[in-house]
Amino acid sequence: MASKKKEAKKTPVPRQVQKRYKQDLNRYRRQIQKSDKIQNGNRAA
């Protein structure tokens, strides 16, 4: 139960971590877009 209480409290996130998270998210989205394009290309061909 103690761990849940700790999670409930918002911990301050360093800006560097936020930056890295955003970069990873953008990279992940690009990979998804690429795979979608490839799948669409295969369907057309």
Q: What's the domain range around 24?
A: 14-44
13 to 16, 25, 40: CA distances (angstroms): 8, 16, 39
Q: Is residue 5 part of a domain?
A: no
Dist. CA 23–CA 44, nearest whole Å: 32
Q: Is residue 35 part of a domain?
A: yes
Q: Is residue 21 part of a domain?
A: yes
| pLDDT tens sequence across 13-33 | 789 999 999 999 999 999 999
Q: How many domains does the chain have?
A: 1
Q: Is residue 28 part of a domain?
A: yes
Q: Is residue 6 part of a domain?
A: no
What's the predicted TM-score (pTM) here?
A: 0.51
pLDDT band of 6, cuts 50, 70, 90: low
- Maximum pairwise Cα distance, the chain: 56
Q: Is residue 4 part of a domain?
A: no
What's the chain's length in residues?
45
Q: Is residue 9 part of a domain?
A: no
Q: Is residue 36 part of a domain?
A: yes
